[in-house]
Each structure stands twice: as structure tokens, then as C-alpha cells.
Amino acid sequence: MRHYVGGGFDASGVPFPLVDPVTGRTVGEVPAASRELVDRAVGAAREALRGPWAGWSPAERSRALHRIADGIEGRFEEFVAAECADTGKPRALAATVDIPRAVANFRSYADLLAGRSERSWHTGTPDGRGALNYTVRKPLGVVAVVSPWNLPLLLLTWKVAPALAMGNTVVAKPSELTPSTACLLAEVIAGAELPADVFQLVHGQGADAAGQWLTEHPGVDAVAFTGESRTGSAIMRAAADRLAPVSFELGGKNAGLVFADADLERAVEGTLRSAFTHSGQVCLCTERVYVERPVFEEFAGALAAGAKDLAGYGPMISAAHRAKVLGHLDRAAADGEVLAGGGVPSFGDARDGGFWVEPTVLTGLPEDHPAVREEIFGPVVHLAPFDTEEEALALANAGPYGLAATVWTGDVSRAHRVAPALDVGIAWVNTWNLRDLRTPFGGVKASGIGREGGDHSLDFFSEPMNVCVKL
């Protein structure tokens, strides 16, 4: 594990342990960046804004993003192995979602940039000769990218790619729990023929460390962050002092609505995916499902049976996170009913030292219960019945979060009526996590600020400027 600062790799700093969540064993060390190293990284990134990078055309930046994508593809198996080692997720998930999506992030923004145009207007003037108004987009400057542990490479590249596309320089800080693919990405970028210091990477752990120093740094012009809502609030306060723009994708307590006219087999299968993919450690996962009363018992029984039969799931990311999840389950078991799971699986091998939690289905809890209101971010879903469409919407829209939701129905009119009425950034109908990278992605309320994806990201990472020429 190394930092990448000033065009070179650096292993300086007091190390902290890297732990395998599958077994709980320490498997390596990560150097913690000093404040001086963070200062150097920001300074180098700022200096690069005035170097050759400033003269690169959109076409040249587009080709550079494709070279980075090529570099990831060329080391595909290394990236998959590193992602699995850090997160404990199954290889099938990393190899079909995380790493291919990282490649797609660079390619999609490269293609969008190459075909992007700005608007112009011919403006009338009193002398009849007119004026030409047109817009140009300029980079924000030095962008801090702080990424989480659940989808480490996917979410890091989701921000790095558009930031570089628009001519910014980037200082990235990955989660201390999952630094490996960020280090590999730095190696790829170092070999992609970009100007020196366009990309920097620093590691750190906890408060009063690299992440905090970076987001508070006066030399940082914008912050892009994915993670907990509480951390987002702290970053926003720090950025407010210098009026730096922020882009946040934060927490969620996502709801699913299952109507009696839905294809129940399809709804159960989809909910098993949406609740338990990566053991529920995805911001888009469904944690509460409301089922129309006539089919509630049938759906609950089928979902519980499916949860008991799940195989190939992974562990929680850390001992601390597992303790949080199990704390919620202990309270839920005392106050409601556990239909499936609720404990720690036993394997009889090295995995018994890891951070595992069984896929869990709960029911019978009141709506104000912590397990229903607070983000658990684990393999836990709560089921409750509803009687009317209006009640279903009220239940789904309650609470502080508003990231995503799913609607399962066979009535196309209801689908178009209910989905837009949900207080979320994205609503799926009869599917889950089907993404087009050109569409807006983000949340409302405590689930985020701004939108990512396609032109939305390119607009955030640039400043529009108007030029008016008198003719």
C-alpha cells in the first residue's frame, strides 16, 4: 500500500492494519499520510493546473480516459483479486459489477466528453449588428475525492473520471478499510501518459487524519464524497468556510413496495437481490419492504425461505460494523419477529474468525423502531403490510432518507402513478439496480446533495462561463 504524490509512490507514515473481513486476520499495513504529505499532494495538484494539463483539449482528455480504462482492463484479474481481498465480496460480484463498472465509468465519460457541445445565442442589439453569446466550461480546480469501502473502485472512479474529463486535478482518499484497488488505479494512471501530478492518492484512518485534512484544506476547490450522512455534514461545514462546492451521495433506508397484482415470484427474487447483494452493504439496497395485505403472508414466507437458502454472500466489512448490525438485530429480535437469520453463521473453518452475519428477514416492528428508521447497512430487511396505495406511499416516504425505492406491480398505470410520488432520487419498477450511466443519480433529504452521472457530473466538475462578443 502506497501513497501517490508528486508523480511518485511513497510509503511514508505510521502504518495501520489492513484486515481480511473473511477471516478477521491482519493481512497487511497501510501508511497513514502526514499533514505535510497531504499539503504536498494538494500543492502538486494545484501546480499541475498551471502546467501542460491546462492546454489539453477535450479530445486529448477523452483519449486519456480511454487509456486509463485500457489499463484497468489489462490488469483485470489483479483488480478483481484486490477488491475481493479488501471487501470479502464474492468474486462473481467483483468480476461482473465492480471492475467492469470502473472501466465503464472512464469510457462513458470519455465518450460523453468527446461528443459534448455548449450552447450559443445570437443576441439582438439596438444598432442591429447583434452580439454572439456562448458558454465555455472551465475546471473547478483541485478536487478532493473521498470514497467509501463498500464499492471501492466503482465509486472512486465514478468521481475521478468526470473530474479529470473536465480538466480538474484530483487528490483521492479511499477508505482505510479498502485501499488496494485505489493503489492499483494510481499505478494505471501513472502509466496512462497524463501530465505529472494530475492525480494524487493519500491514505488515512479516522478523524484528524488525511480525509479531514484534505476536505478542510484551503487549496481544495471542491469535494466529492460518498459515505455516511453524518460525515457528509462535517465535510459540508468545512467546505462552507471557503464556499467550496460539494457533491454528496449519502445514506439510505430504501423502501420496496409490493402490490398484490405483482408477479410475486419475480418480486421475491428481486427483493432477495435488492436486500442481500454484497450482504446489504450497498447504498441502494432495500432495508424495508411494504407488502399489500392480501399477499403479505405468501411473500413473507417465500422471502424468508429464499434468505435461508442464500449462498455465496460475503461478510461485513469490519468487526465494528458487524457489532453495529448485530446490535440492531438483538433489539429487533426482542421487539418483533425474526423470520430468517438473525445471527452469526458457523463454518467450521477460518471464516469463523471473520465478520459474518446471516441474511435476516424481520417483521412485526413499529415504524419508529431503530431497525426500521436507521440505516443498518447489512443483510437485514423488515417486512410490513399495507392496505391502500396512499398508505404505501406514506410509509415509503417517511423518515429522513430518500435515495432509492422499488415498486413491484403488474398495473402500468399504478407504476407511473406511484414511482414519481416517491421522495427518492431513483425509483425502479419491477427491477432493481438497473442503471444507465447517463441518467441522474443521487438522493434527496439526508441522502445527498446534487446528482452524478452523464452530463450531471460533467456540469458539477466544471464552471460555466459566458462570453459575449459584440458584432
CA distances from 212 to 145, 175, 215, 226, 237 (A): 12, 12, 5, 14, 12
Q: Domain containing 104: what range?
A: 3-250+447-470
* Pairing mode, strands 26-31 and 15-19: antiparallel
Cα dihedral 12, 179, 206, 281, rounded to 10, equals -170
288 in the same domain as 232: no
Q: What percent of the chain has pLDDT over 90?
A: 98
CA distances from 435 to 25, 59, 426, 454 (A): 35, 26, 10, 12
Number of other CB atoms surrounding residue 50 within 10 Å: 8
Calpha distance 377→272 (Å, rounded): 15
Query: What pLDDT, on the 0 to 100 scale, is given for residue 321?
Result: 98
215 in the same domain as 95: yes
Mind listing the pLDDT tens digit for each residue in 231-284?
999 999 999 999 999 999 999 999 999 999 999 999 999 999 999 999 999 999
Nearest to 271 by CA among 95, 68, 430: 430
Mind listing the pLDDT tens digit for each residue in 313-350?
999 999 999 999 999 999 999 999 999 999 999 999 99
Half-sphere exposure of 106 (CA within 13 A, CB side): 24
Query: What pLDDT, on the 0 to 100 scale, is given for residue 47?
Result: 97
Number of domains making up the chain: 2
249 catalytic? Reply is yes
Query: What pLDDT, on the 0 to 100 scale, is given for residue 364?
Result: 98
Query: What pLDDT, on the 0 to 100 scale, is given for residue 315?
Result: 98
Q: What average pLDDT does the chain have?
A: 97
421 in the same domain as 392: yes
92 in the same domain as 188: yes
pLDDT grade, residue 188 (50/70/90)? very high
Q: Would the pTM of this model clear 0.75, i.e. be above it?
A: yes
- pLDDT mean over 439-464: 96
300 in the same domain as 229: no
pLDDT grade, residue 107 (50/70/90)? very high
Mind listing the pLDDT tens digit for each residue in 30-70?
999 999 999 999 999 999 999 999 999 999 999 999 999 99
Give the Cα-Cα-Cα angle 154, 159, 165 (nearest 5 degrees).
120
| 16 burial level (CB within 10 Å; 0-12, 13-18, 19+) | middle
Q: What CATH number is attached to the domain comprising 165? A: 3.40.605.10
Residues 465 and 130 sit within 8 Å (Cβ to Cβ): no
277 in the same domain as 188: no
- Beta bridge pairs of residue 248: 225, 449
Q: What CATH number is attached to the domain comprising 410? A: 3.40.309.10
287 in the same domain as 186: no
pLDDT grade, residue 300 (50/70/90)? very high
259 in the same domain as 245: no
pLDDT grade, residue 152 (50/70/90)? very high
Query: What pLDDT, on the 0 to 100 scale, is given for residue 52?
Result: 97
332 in the same domain as 421: yes
Query: What pLDDT, on the 0 to 100 scale, is given for residue 360?
Result: 98
Query: Of these residues, 84, 183, 216, 283, which one is catalytic?
Result: 283
CA distances from 427 to 121, 323, 395, 446, 458 (A): 36, 31, 15, 17, 23
217 in the same domain as 125: yes
Query: What pLDDT, on the 0 to 100 scale, is given for residue 249?
Result: 95
283 catalytic? Reply is yes
CA distances from 376 to 206, 363, 367 (A): 20, 15, 15
461 in the same domain as 345: no
Mind listing the pLDDT tens digit for each residue in 8-23?
999 999 999 999 999 9
Cα dihedral 364, 369, 373, 374, rounded to 10, equals -120
258 in the same domain as 195: no
Mind listing the pLDDT tens digit for each residue in 378-411?
999 999 999 999 999 999 999 999 999 999 999 9
Query: Of these residues, 83, 176, 216, 249, which one is catalytic?
Result: 249
Query: What pLDDT, on the 0 to 100 scale, is given for residue 361?
Result: 98
